[in-house]
Structure 1
């Protein structure tokens, strides 16, 4: 007997719509696991803005507000929230309700040897995870990023598109990298620090600060 498993996307903003597209890719290629005797479908979104999708065609509905969501059997939440602090808050609320989270790895992602990927993480198209590295829980890695050898990306981090995290780098919990950020080898980016788009980080970034530029310099926090 075939089992139907449903996916619910948390967050109906732009990234949520991208995640919807990547899930369709995964389902169409038969790469949602388990695949044997299982039919996967996208049930809809949960978001606090009820009309967030009104101007977009071809999308499933918003099912409820996030706080009002009630987990159901054979249903998995996909976390499409990019803001690290908000991501931690909302996933904790749903985990307390018993929700199960889906780990989305797009079929075009390249994964090397000895790579550990945590639950609820999203890895978008054309990203490369090289070797001997760890990606934590609820990490967001957008398209075309490169994650080097011996790196550690802690829970709730977000990497925008085209980031280059080189060998031996540590991204502590909730670090946020803007698009095209580069972190040079063995640098530590502190918890909930923000690296601005296009920046090149050549030295340790303290927790909670924002850096920007080439080389990256502290601008706030």
Structure 2
């Protein structure tokens, strides 16, 4: 049995632990959960949690029987940390809750984290290290590497989501909409056509804004 470390002890990391516990309760124990890796060794000192931070991310050295689960939501931080850890030889495990609808003829990249309540239909392409909460993806959707889609987002057919995109809760993307690399779509926004690369968009319809 592999030893599993969760990378990141923030809220996202603790949610990933919750998914792993659900997997173990439903399917039987899959991994030996060791604990969290976080550069703040006191990250859980005032938080109820039955696992602790057992080491820093920067000092972690992979062992032959180790796998990592990515517990970080920020797309840019995910990319940076994954690159650092993979350069050391780290191996990442996808964490997919049993209560999801994975559809047919779909592909999921390396290191995915998929929450309960997620659903997708057909011919969907999901890149590497995507974090997908309780959202829905329609037919022929593409999601780029390191992107995060929050709960209750409705991504309709033929939508293209680039690399390192963050979509806040309750967003919608109309059919054929394009959300380019490094875009940020705020909570409750509705993308009708396009959000340009590196831009932040808010509202219904979503409009690009500077912050």
Contact 1:46 1:62 in 2 (8 A): yes
Distance 1:150 1:29 in 2: 30
Task: Please report the RMSD computed on the Cα atoms of aligned residues, expressed in angstroms.
Answer: 1.2
Alpha-carbon shift at residue 65 of structure 1 (Å):
1.2
Q: Which residue of 2 aligns with 1:36?
A: none
Give the structure-2-normalised TM-score: 0.97
Q: Secondary structure at the match of 1:43?
A: strand
Give the 5 Å matches for 1:71-82: 71-82=62-73
Give the structure-1-normalised TM-score: 0.92
Q: Which residue of 2 aligns with 1:90?
A: 81
1:57 counterpart = 2:57? no
Distance 1:209 1:220 in 2: 8
Q: Which residue of 1 aligns with 2:92?
A: 101
Alpha-carbon shift at residue 189 of structure 1 (Å):
0.2
Q: Which residue of 2 aligns with 1:10?
A: 7
Distance 2:86 2:154 in 1: 31
Q: Work out the number of aligned pairs and report it.
A: 211
1:23 counterpart = 2:20? yes
Q: Which residue of 1 aligns with 2:186?
A: 196
Q: Which residue of 2 aligns with 1:145?
A: 135
Q: Which residue of 2 aligns with 1:182?
A: 172
Gaps of at least 5 residues in structure 1 are 33-38
Distance 1:206 1:31 in 2: 44
Q: Deviations 1:132-155 (Å, cap 9, x if unpaired)? A: 11111000011x200110010010
Alpha-carbon shift at residue 16 of structure 1 (Å):
0.6
Distance 2:106 2:11 in 1: 29
Q: Structure 1's 97 and 204: CA in aligned 2 closer, same or farther, altered over 3 A? A: same
Distance 2:139 2:209 in 1: 29
Alpha-carbon shift at residue 31 of structure 1 (Å):
6.3
Q: Structure 1's 116 and 31: CA in aligned 2 closer, same or farther, altered over 3 A? A: farther
Distance 2:156 2:8 in 1: 30
Alpha-carbon shift at residue 56 of structure 1 (Å):
2.5
Gaps of at least 5 residues in structure 2 are none
Alpha-carbon shift at residue 76 of structure 1 (Å):
0.7
